[in-house]
C-alpha cells in the first residue's frame, strides 16, 4: 500500500463480508472526527470507487476527518444482494460501527452520500439520532425522485446539477422547499458532476464551519 492510500479490508457485515476503504485524518491536520461516505445505486454501477464518492471522502479527509467508504451488499467484494435500501442501511450502520471502533476520536460525525447514497444516509441518521449526534450531512445529487429522502438539518450541504437528467432540479427544489433548505446549484452540470469535481470539493470546503 502506497503512503496516503486508503486501507481496504473486509469486515463483518449484516449480510456477510462488507468491503470498506478507510483513512485516518490527514497528517498535520487537527482531527475533527469521522466521516462515512455512501455510494450511488448498486444496480446501476455504483461502487465505493465512484468518482463523486471518492471526491467527498477526499474533501472530508482534507478537512480533518478520518473517512470511510464502503461497498453496499452485492457490490465488489461485499457479500449479499440488493435489498431496496433496507439492508443497505444496515450495511451503512455496520460500516459506521467499524469506523468508530477504528478511529475512536470522540469528536463529530459527518454523513455524506451521492445519489442513492443520500437516501441511505438520511435513513441512517434517523436510525442513530437517539444515540449518536451527526455533526453535519453532505448530499450530492440527492435522489429525491426515486427514494423517500428524509428531511435533513438546516445546515446540510446539498449540491445539485442544473442539468441533472437523473434527478431533475425541480424535484430537489420541491423536496427542499418545505424545509427552507438552501441548494447549491452548479449551472450546466449533470448528475455525475463531470468536469466539476474540483469545484465540488472547493464548494464544500468553503461552506465548512471553522
46-85: per-residue pLDDT in tens? 999 999 999 999 999 999 999 999 999 999 999 999 999 9
Mean pLDDT, rounded, of the chain: 95
Where do the domains of the chain lie? 7-205
Question: What does the alpha-carbon distance between residue 187 and residue 206 come to, in Å, rounded to a whole number?
Answer: 18
| pTM (two decimals) | 0.96
pLDDT tens-digit series, residues 109-151: 999 999 999 999 999 999 999 899 999 999 999 999 999 999 9
In terms of CATH architecture, what is 7-205? Answer: 3-Layer(aba) Sandwich (3.40)
CA atoms within 13 A on the CB side of 149: 28
- What are the φ/ψ torsions at residue 176 (nearest 5 degrees)? -80, -30
Buried b vs exposed e over 160-190: b needs ≥16 C-beta within 10 Å?
A: bbeebebbebebbeebbeeeebebeebeebb
Amino acid at each position: 500500500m502506497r503512503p496516503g492510500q486508503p486501507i481496504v479490508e473486509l469486515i463483518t457485515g449484516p449480510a456477510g463480508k462488507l468491503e470498506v476503504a478507510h483513512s485516518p485524518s490527514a497528517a498535520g491536520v487537527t482531527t475533527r472526527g469521522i466521516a462515512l461516505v455512501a455510494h450511488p445505486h448498486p444496480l446501476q454501477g455504483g461502487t465505493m470507487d465512484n468518482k463523486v464518492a471518492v471526491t467527498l471522502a477526499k474533501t472530508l479527509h482534507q478537512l480533518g476527518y478520518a473517512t470511510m467508504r464502503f461497498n453496499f451488499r452485492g457490490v465488489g467484494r461485499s457479500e449479499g444482494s440488493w435489498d431496496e435500501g433496507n439492508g443497505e442501511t444496515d450495511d451503512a450502520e455496520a460500516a459506521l460501527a467499524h469506523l468508530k471502533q477504528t478511529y475512536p476520536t470522540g469528536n463529530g460525525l459527518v454523513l455524506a452520500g451521492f445519489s442513492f447514497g443520500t437516501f441511505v444516509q438520511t435513513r441512517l441518521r434517523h436510525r442513530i439520532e437517539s444515540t449518536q449526534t451527526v455533526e453535519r450531512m453532505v448530499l450530492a445529487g440527492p435522489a429525491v425522485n426515486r427514494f423517500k429522502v428524509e428531511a435533513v438539518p438546516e445546515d446540510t450541504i446539498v449540491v445539485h446539477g442544473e442539468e441533472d437528467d437523473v434527478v431533475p432540479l425541480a424535484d430537489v427544489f420541491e423536496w427542499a422547499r418545505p424545509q427552507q433548505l438552501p441548494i447549491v446549484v452548479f449551472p450546466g452540470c449533470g448528475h455525475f458532476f463531470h468536469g466539476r469535481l474540483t469545484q465540488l470539493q472547493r464548494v464544500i470546503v468553503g461552506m465548512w464551519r471553522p
